[in-house]
Structure 1
Amino acid sequence: YTIQRHNMVQTDFVLSRGVLYSVLAVLIAVGYALLVTGFSLALGDRLQPDNPLIAGFLLFGFALALLPLRQRLERMLDVLFFRGERAYQERLKTFSGELTGAVELPQILNVLRQYIEQSLQPQHLHIFVLDTFTDQYMAAKDLNGLSTSDLRFSHSSALVQQLGGRKSPLYIDTSEALPTALQPESVRMSLLGAQVYVPLLGRQRLTGWIALGQRLSGEVFTNRDLSFLDSLSDQASLAIERAQVMASMEKRMQEMNVLTRVAQGVNITISLDDIFELIYAQTTQIIPADDFSLILYDPVRSELVPVFVVENDDRVPHKENKPLEAAHTLEYEVLRQRRPVVADDYTRESQRRGLLGGSSELHAWLCVPLNAGAETIGLLSLAGREPNVYYTQEQLGLLQAIADQVAGAIVKARLLGEAERRTRQLT
């Protein structure tokens, strides 16, 4: 593959203007000759063609007379040579109007996808946008609600770096080798099957990009097509960035509300099981998870004991209050180090650390310790069973903040239970 900027001469513009001025030159020459001949025949010797004053008046009058003809001729040539460009201009106007009415990100992406598919009809169309939850670039869903690609790109990706540093579309010639800068992404770019990459540039960073495959008609993308895509991306970028800012603000508000409800709940709820139910319900509102486990440490037996287990969004009581079978798992690693662990794949992360793999159904996994002062009293873990789910450092920080409140509530409940037990003994 090779990168081409398509900074070529616009031959249709040059040709149309060449035809226009050639026709005007012929009309002026013929018209001037006819006028001079006519006036000479009518006025005889009183009109001399070489008189500069008379020639100037004739040319001035002739220019005024030809102005409407020139404008009409120019419009006719524009219709002939720029029929496609006029259609693109009309589409851009309607696109701008529809984009104004789209507020949420899925609506904006659907409008953008619809106009690209109708105008250019590519074999493949992927619209990658930055997911603020995972901080990765993901393919948006198509008009049928299906994701066009499972690929994800981080900020360190060679393709992201390349697109973030340019303002024009990136054209890929499939007949040549990929340049060195994009070699690390050769496999994933071949899976996308795209010829044109159009960056969606925000004010501060790359908000995403459009990846188009070859056209269904087999025609190559022209300079006019790339200009149309560039104009679409300029308008869409601002709308996408606006929607992402609004979504981020709503997410922050939701996180603050969840932390507030957790703090209030653990202070007024006495039953540990009720506290665990509250923590599960509030945590999964801001951090997506299929599995949720709250595990306490038994210092007498040196065992980790799950006390609240949810798998596939259903509570699993028969796995509660039973020690974890193996001591060489990621859970015990978090307990020993008293530090959180984020893994994209639970089994691979266990193998990388030389530990037992545990459940092979888990993919993304996030676990934080329940630290009460200098003591770790347990763990709080989340897991996703879908391969396209990832946890971020920001989500880890949120879960750790929740875990700190849970640890305090557990210590308080234990102290209260111990006080009640001693009171009963004394009475």
Structure 2
Amino acid sequence: MYNNLDEQALNADDQLVTSDTILEELNTLRSLVPEVELLSDKYQNLNRLQEALFTIAELSGRNLELTEFYRGLHHIIANLLYAENFYIGLKNDKGELRIAYLADRYDEGKHLAVSHQQLEMGMTGYLMRRQEPVLASRDQYQELIEQGELMQLGSSPSYILGVPMMSNDNCMGVVVVQSYDDGKGYDTQDMQVLEFVAHHLAQSIERAHYRDSLEKRVSQRTGELTRANSELQKEVQERLRSEQLQRTLFDISEMAHEAVNMDDFYAALHQVIAKLIICENFYVAILDSDGETLLFPYRADQFDPTPKPRTLGRGMTEYLMARAHGLLLKQSDIQALEQAKAIDKSGTPAHSWLGVPLKDGNNVIGVIVLQSYDSNHQYSQSDLELITFVSRHVSSALIRKQAHEKLENQVRLRTRELESEITERRRIERQLKHDASHDSLTGLPNRIVFLQRLRDAFNRADNYRHYDFAVLFLDLDRFKLVNDSLGHMSGDELLKKASSRIRRCLRGRDLIARLGGDEFAILLEPMKSEEDAIGLAQRISTSFDQPFFVNGERIFTGSSIGIALGNDRYDEPEELLRDADAAMYRAKAQGRRRYVLFDASMHEEATHALKLENELRIAIDRNQFEVYYQPILCSKEGKPAAIEALVRWRHPTDGLVMPGRFIELATEIGFIKEIDWYVLNRACYQLAEWRQNHPELADLSVTVNLASQHFSQSNLPEQIANVLEVTGLPANALRVEITEHALLDDQEMVQTVLSQLSELGVQLLMDDFGTGYSSLSYLHRFPINGVKIDRSFITNMRGQEEHMAIVKTVKALADNLKLKLVAEGIEDQETQDLLIEMGCDYLQGFHIQRPVNRRVTLEWLLENSRD
């Protein structure tokens, strides 16, 4: 019984051991599953790679065109990884990169326009340089671009994978795939696959290229051998004939080259041809230079003598020349021509006649003729061909002889012409050198010469102690008025006479130059003291006291002179000239006909002017201007009839700047037109608003000043019409003030512009009337509606009788011409009463109201418009 129990226990233990073992083995097997799956994947990948390699090898053996071969490679790679966008880049024999194949969703065909230099900077060149695979996302790709590693040439990919194609440690190209879908990327396994395939692709592409190159070379060589064989056959056929003619042609060529005496040449030619064919009877005929006479410089004949020169007729020679090609005739052929009256019968009849023309291009200049009087000898077609060939060499000799004689004549003529040309060229060179360094109008040295001489003076001052010199900058006073009134020809004549007068005031070594316009510069060197420069300025100024006589007119003009002394504070000649110029402007500002010696304060003023110019340019860009208004009263009603728009500059640090400080500068730097348009727009807009909102101002007008530059533009009326249309202001509510200077520039254009403005309804007023020399002559020529008496006459009319007389004269003139009269500059009640009593139409001045901003202007207008 115990034995049975023990056996049962033993069996139970065996069963327990077996279950544990099975579980352990199962767990072991489960842990091996990933490894088995990995091995399976590797096997499948290796199987795919092996199939791809077989396919590549099979593709290489098909003898496909390279394009078809690359397309097949693309298909193979597409079976291994995502390769919708794929390209192959290769390096040619010159080391230049090219895209051999491209398939791309976005960039298809664009590679044709990409140069090999661009490819060197792109992904292709980057892979070639690294010779290592590149796997990059869009961010990594952009980082490479930003780091300057490569340049983007096509569309930006989401992922890009590229590997070099290596062959014997040499990178022959690249294979690149890219994805534009964020969900389709590449990993290291794809990179290993593409790298593996690329290695075998390199060998296959190399074989394909070698096969393609070999086929081309074989085809090319076959063609070359075929052509060579054909040419060799022709050469063999021609060789016998060439050997026969070689010596003869050499002799002819030698004679043609060395021919000096043509009679000897013709005789020698006859002997050479006689070695080839029988030519006992031989002659040469030449057409004379007149084109109408036939000459016979050589003839050897059994029966007939050498003919004398004759006018072209109907001989056999002329017949041959008319046909202009070789002729081979029998006696019967010649008789038929005689019977047909094509030729005249002359000389001993020949049994066989051979003739060829001598030509210069397409023109026949003569003939060579062989005749046989023996019926047993007839010339053949091969004889004709031979003599035709020989005739070309004879023609060359004749042409060379004629050309030689002509050339000798031309050389003699050309030699004389060249001698004349050389003389003229030297004269022109001297003139060009002079013109390059001198002013064409006055003959004075120009700025270039002046600055060079001034630089030399600087150098002498550096080398020698107490070497003093000075620069005088001179400008003619009121020269523009002469130009505008008498014309530019008179202005040029005045400049020439003025330059001569200035030159007479100089010493021997002093230099005067014309810098441009009416500006002259004088270099005074050496000098003892500044008194020398002052004395020269005084002499020049005194010389201008006498009038100039120009085209029958007596012209008085003065000179404004600036003086700058050379000293150690100047480094460059231009600086000294600049300061002399600044001093001249100071002299002109002090009343003209003066001279001023430059000092440090002028430099400060120039610096301030430059600062002001820069600030003014900024003010125009930032619109720092404001419009102020000054009322104009109607003298009869005592109520405001108009307002004048005046500009002010709201300077960010200096506050309100008056126009006297910047208008002239704005005109000089070319910005006055922008300021004028700003004022015109703002004034029209403001008045239109007031007229609409305040019935008592419905008849109010606005006066705007426009610079003279506006009136030389044909589109000015159109621009003003646009402003009026946009702002809604009627044209008759706008008054445009013009100066006499505006009427002088281009009178025909100004006439047209003013007429169009008048037709538009705009009122035109002449400003500052009475200050010019020709104001009266313009009143009846231009459509002026009124004149504005200059304030200088109004301000002083009560204290100076001549000013009162001028005001009365202008009033009478305005009445006669039916013009409105505006008096500006009224500063007291007595002057205002006098003008009202005189019958002046409109009144303006500080006594009535100063220019104020728009708010104060509106208050004043409303208060003074009430009944």
The answer to whether TM tops 0.5 is no
Higher-Rg member (1/2):
2
Taking structure 2 as the reference length, what is the TM-score of the superposition? 0.20
Relative CO higher for 1 or 2, CA cutoff 8 Å, sep ≥ 6?
1
Give TM-score scaled by structure 1 length: 0.39
